[in-house]
Amino acid sequence: MKKFFLFSLIFLTHSTMGFTLVSNPATKFSTTEITVNVSNDSCAGAGITNTVLLDLVEEAAEEYWSRVTTSSLVINKGSEVAVSINGETSIGAAALLTTANTIIVGCSTNVTLFPSPADDNTLGVGGIASFSDGSVRGAFLVNANGNFINQGQAEKLATIAHELGHSLGLGHSSDPVALMYFSIGSKVQERLTMDDKDGLTYLYPNEDALPASCGTIAIDNDKGGGGGFLMLSLIFLITLMGTKKLKTQQLELET
């Protein structure tokens, strides 16, 4: 009994930040293996090609999200597809143009999402949506009107990884050093924080590798992450009680 209370005390006093989800209840893929495709819209305004964008997505998946051993998620590199999402004014509308359990990625010059001039500090928007047929699809768009073109390679990669996180169902973190924080600022985000990992694990847990840790969770209702977090149950309580499931909201990343 003493060991039980000591174990509880350790985790209850452990300070954590708060990851969020894009919706309540949680919108997430029904499978743990998804494919990311790139639209054939021009990315010239973002200073990259479609092929480079697809390569960035692959690298972002490998360097960030695929390294979370407590998550069962597998992200597969797809291909360039003959789908135009440049004219869509919402992530839900863009996601509608892809297929179930896939994410569509593209560059956009749409001034509704990315107002001109080029000093617009929004680098991209991303999200996930569920549809009436029961399918779940994701999408994110890179700003081809703003200053994505002026970012260094590391910042571009972090931006892609951030928007990919939204497309998987994650909202903004309140931890300013987390990848899922709403702004990359001047920092180079080279790896995920525990908060980022906790969020992905919450949505797509690897039951064989659950961590002995806890975190906080909330619904992201604004681009700053918001307040009002709910404490996650301890891992052993989750095992006993089951994970409570927490349609779409597009989220922006700013410099």
Single-letter code of the amino acid located at 22 = V
pLDDT, position 83: 97
Cα–Cα dist 142/41, whole Å: 11
Instruction: Find, among 170, 177, 214, 156, the residue nearest to 65 by Cα.
Output: 170
Pairing of strands 122-130, 136-143: antiparallel
For residue 221, pLDDT beyond 90:
no
Tokens coding 175: 């931890």
3-state helix, strand, coil in the chain (%, to 5): 30, 20, 50
Looking at CATH, the fold of the domain delimited by 33-203 is given as: Collagenase (Catalytic Domain) (3.40.390)
Cα–Cα dist 139/94, whole Å: 6
For residue 201, pLDDT beyond 70:
yes
Backbone angles phi, psi at 92, to 5 degrees: -60, -40
Do residues 156 and 184 touch, judged by C-beta distance below 8 A?
A: no
Tokens coding 101: 């359990």
pLDDT, position 234: 30
The answer to whether the bond into 25 is cis (omega within 30° of 0) is yes
Single-letter code of the amino acid located at 66 = S
**CA trace torsion 155, 160, 165, 169 (10° rounding):** 140
Locate the domains of the chain by residue range: 33-203
Average pLDDT over residues 39-58: 97
For residue 101, pLDDT beyond 60:
yes
pLDDT, position 161: 96
Confidence band (pLDDT; 50, 70, 90) for 241?
very low
Pairing of strands 122-130, 251-254: antiparallel
Confidence band (pLDDT; 50, 70, 90) for 86?
very high
Higher pLDDT, 215 or 118: 118
- pLDDT tens, 24-37? 899 999 999 999 99
Name 160's Cβ contacts closer than 8 Å, sequence gap at least 6. Answer: 53, 56, 57, 59, 60, 124, 142
Residues in a beta bridge with 251: 126
For residue 89, pLDDT beyond 90:
yes
Residues in a beta bridge with 35: 76, 102
For residue 207, pLDDT beyond 80:
yes
11-15, 49-53, 170-174: lowest mean pLDDT where?
Answer: 11-15
Name 5's Cβ contacts closer than 8 Å, sequence gap at least 6. Answer: none
